[in-house]
């Protein structure tokens, strides 16, 4: 009799485990861990604003298949050790992870999420480590850093630039961007002539600048967050060694935040983007975003888009949702949403491919 009771209890346990956490008859719970404190706090805040704006809209309209969407937000300060502790806290409460920010933080997170076969969706990073066969439950909305750095290098080379330097963050993010620059330059039979790095969550950029000024550079591509990149640009623009040098950043920098930090020193700085303009795009998805967000930015637009694509996937998958059904549904998901085509059915599980180049002019990002 005791053996029968044990077997029945074990069967109930297994059956309960097969149904994903984070799903009830009335709601779906998602988990977001990103930076809302520290030197990258505007990036996490922006992503969260976009996610919240769209999911609030969904909930006001009655939810998806009768369920509202709830998001548990946690702050990691853009430090991987806090990413991990937050993941452990929320894992049993959520269906999937969404809208994380950063490469070093994602590097830690996906090692953890893959062990439990949890979907890791729409992270704010273009690093290749999220685009491999070893991370099958990671779904990327944005284009990659390789694509961004190629677009920047191709642009500079087309205007006669041949001498390149790289300013980068000393971690997985910086290395991912540096790798992209090297590959892009290699396609033109060029190489990085100088490089300098700084530590994550630090404004100590002087040593990096010292290394960069050893060469006369036409362009410096920057792989960093907005505050240290702004600090470095302002210092270098004041130095004779960098007279005539052009500066470029990839999208992770946070365009609006970089512009604010640079002030009148921003003119001419180029930024690659993975989203259309939040201010001027006529795409229906961007118009919808502007109806629900007051202060526009590329970061909050990306959060809004990530939430909308995830919600559309939930609608398509149907009412019977668990983590396996979510993964299977996303793996073949392809749909035109608001004028953009999102397609995860590729080796990188990356929905978008397009890069938009912008230049700061009078405090605004203007399309090149």
Alpha-carbon distance of 298 to 286, in angstroms, equals: 11
The CATH classification number of 145-273 equals 3.40.50.2300
Nearest residue to 278 via CA among 259, 257, 256, 262? 256
**Integer Cα distance of 135 and 170 in angstroms:** 23
Q: Which pTM was predicted?
A: 0.93
| Whether the domain at 2-143+280-343 and the domain at 145-273 fall into the same CATH topology | yes
Query: Which DSSP symbol is given to 278?
Result: T
Q: What angle do CA 182, 185, 188 make, to 5 degrees?
A: 150
Class of domain 2-143+280-343: alpha beta
Rg (Cα) of the chain, in Å, rounded? 22
Q: What is the structure's pLDDT at 8?
A: 39
Residue 244's Cβ-count burial label (10 Å; 0-12, 13-18, 19+) is exposed
pLDDT along the chain (368 residues), means of 10: 42 43 96 96 98 98 98 98 97 98 98 96 98 98 98 98 98 97 98 98 97 98 97 98 98 97 97 98 98 97 98 97 97 98 98 98 96
pLDDT value of residue 5: 41
Q: What is the pLDDT of residue 71?
A: 98
b/e code 203-222 from CB counts within 10 Å (16+ = b) = eebeebbeebbeeebbbbbb
346 three-class SS: coil
Q: What is the pLDDT of residue 26?
A: 97
Domain ranges of the chain: 2-143+280-343, 145-273
Residues 6 or more apart in contact with residue 346 via CB below 8 angstroms:
none
Of 224, 267, 220, 213, the C-alpha closest to 246 is 220
H or E stretch at 192 = strand 192-198
> In the numeric block, which tokens belong to residue 248?
């470029």
């Amino acid at each position: 009799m005791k053996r029968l009771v044990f077997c029945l209890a074990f069967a109930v346990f297994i059956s309960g485990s097969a149904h994903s956490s984070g799903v009830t008859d009335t709601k779906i719970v998602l988990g977001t861990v990103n930076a809302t404190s520290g030197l990258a706090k505007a990036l996490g805040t922006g992503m969260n604003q976009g996610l919240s704006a769209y999911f609030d809209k969904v909930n006001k309209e009655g939810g998806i298949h009768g369920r509202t969407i709830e998001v548990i937000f946690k702050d990691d300060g853009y430090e991987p050790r806090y990413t991990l502790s937050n993941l452990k806290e929320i894992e049993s409460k959520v269906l999937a992870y969404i809208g994380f920010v950063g490469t070093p933080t994602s590097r830690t997170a996906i090692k953890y999420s893959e062990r439990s076969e949890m979907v890791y969706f729409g992270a704010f990073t273009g690093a290749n480590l999220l685009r491999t066969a070893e991370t099958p439950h990671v779904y990327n909305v944005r284009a990659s850093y390789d694509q961004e750095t190629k677009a920047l290098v191709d642009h500079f080379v087309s205007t006669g630039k041949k001498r390149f330097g790289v300013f980068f963050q000393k971690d997985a993010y910086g290395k991912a961007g540096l790798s992209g620059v090297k590959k892009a330059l290699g396609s033109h039979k060029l190489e990085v002539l100088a490089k300098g790095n700084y530590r994550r969550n630090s404004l100590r950029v002087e040593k990096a600048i010292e290394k960069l000024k050893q060469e006369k550079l036409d362009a410096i591509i920057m792989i960093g967050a907005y505050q240290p990149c702004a600090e470095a640009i302002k210092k270098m623009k004041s130095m004779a060694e960098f007279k005539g040098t052009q500066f470029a950043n990839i999208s992770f920098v946070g365009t609006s935040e970089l512009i604010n930090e640079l002030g009148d020193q921003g003119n001419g700085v180029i930024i690659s983007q993975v989203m259309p303009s939040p201010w001027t795009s006529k795409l229906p998805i961007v118009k919808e975003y502007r109806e629900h967000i007051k202060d526009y930015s590329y970061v909050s637009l990306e959060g809004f888009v990530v939430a909308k694509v995830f919600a559309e996937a939930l609608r398509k998958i149907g009412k019977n949702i668990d983590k396996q059904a979510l993964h299977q549904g996303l793996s073949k998901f392809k749909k035109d949403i608001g004028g953009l085509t999102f397609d995860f059915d590729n080796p990188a599980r990356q929905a978008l491919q397009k890069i938009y180049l912008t230049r700061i002019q009078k405090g605004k990002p203007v399309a090149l």
